[in-house]
């Protein structure tokens, strides 16, 4: 558990750091410096290998760090949405924890809500309200 907490903090800090505009600008300057040094090294295979290896390693590591942060954020959002459903009178508690259902079950739920949205739009076009809870 201790290593997991350390990794989560590290991943979150790294994702936050790497998302800053000045980090992007720094990356652009690294690429520009690499391009400028091309003629100095005769555009050699080693010159190309430096940028290819560097970017591959950084990309490979960042995928895991960003995915960890994304997973944590998604879990937190799902819990918040579940709480809103649970606390809202008239909400369907069957919608709690939908992300754990199989794809075909999710498709059935989606079809039902697409039909409700279509009916609500039709009511709006008639000048009626589209609020309220539909009958089960």
Q: What is the pTM of this model?
A: 0.66
Residue environment code for 88-126, b if the CB has 16+ CB neighbours within 10 A, otherwise e: eeeeeeeeeeeeeeeeeeeeeeeeeeeeeeeebeeeeee
pLDDT for 129: 83
pLDDT for 78: 93
pLDDT, tens digit (0-9, with 9 covering 90-100), for 40-64: 999 999 999 999 999 999 999 999 9
pLDDT > 90? residue 130: no
Cβ–Cβ < 8 Å for 86, 96: yes
Confidence grade of residue 4 (pLDDT, cut at 50, 70, 90): confident
pLDDT for 3: 67
pLDDT > 70? residue 1: no
Cβ–Cβ < 8 Å for 67, 15: no
pLDDT for 61: 93
Angstrom distance (rounded) from CA 99 to CA 13 = 27
Angstrom distance (rounded) from CA 132 to CA 127 = 15
Tokens, residue 1: 């558990």
Angstrom distance (rounded) from CA 71 to CA 78 = 11
């Amino acid at each position: 558990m201790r290593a997991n907490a350390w990794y989560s903090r590290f991943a979150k800090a790294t994702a936050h750091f790497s998302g800053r505009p000045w980090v992007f600008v720094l990356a652009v300057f690294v690429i520009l410096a690499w391009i400028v040094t091309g003629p100095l090294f005769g555009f050699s295979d080693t010159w190309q290998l430096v940028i290819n290896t560097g970017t591959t390693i950084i990309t490979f590591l960042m995928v895991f760090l960003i995915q960890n942060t994304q997973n944590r954020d998604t879990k937190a959002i799902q819990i918040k949405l579940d709480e809103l459903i649970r606390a809202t009178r008239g909400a369907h508690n069957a919608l709690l924890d939908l992300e754990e259902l199989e794809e075909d079950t999710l498709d059935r739920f989606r079809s039902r809500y697409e039909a409700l949205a279509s009916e609500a739009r039709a009511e709006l076009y008639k000048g009626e309200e589209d609020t309220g809870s539909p009958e089960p």
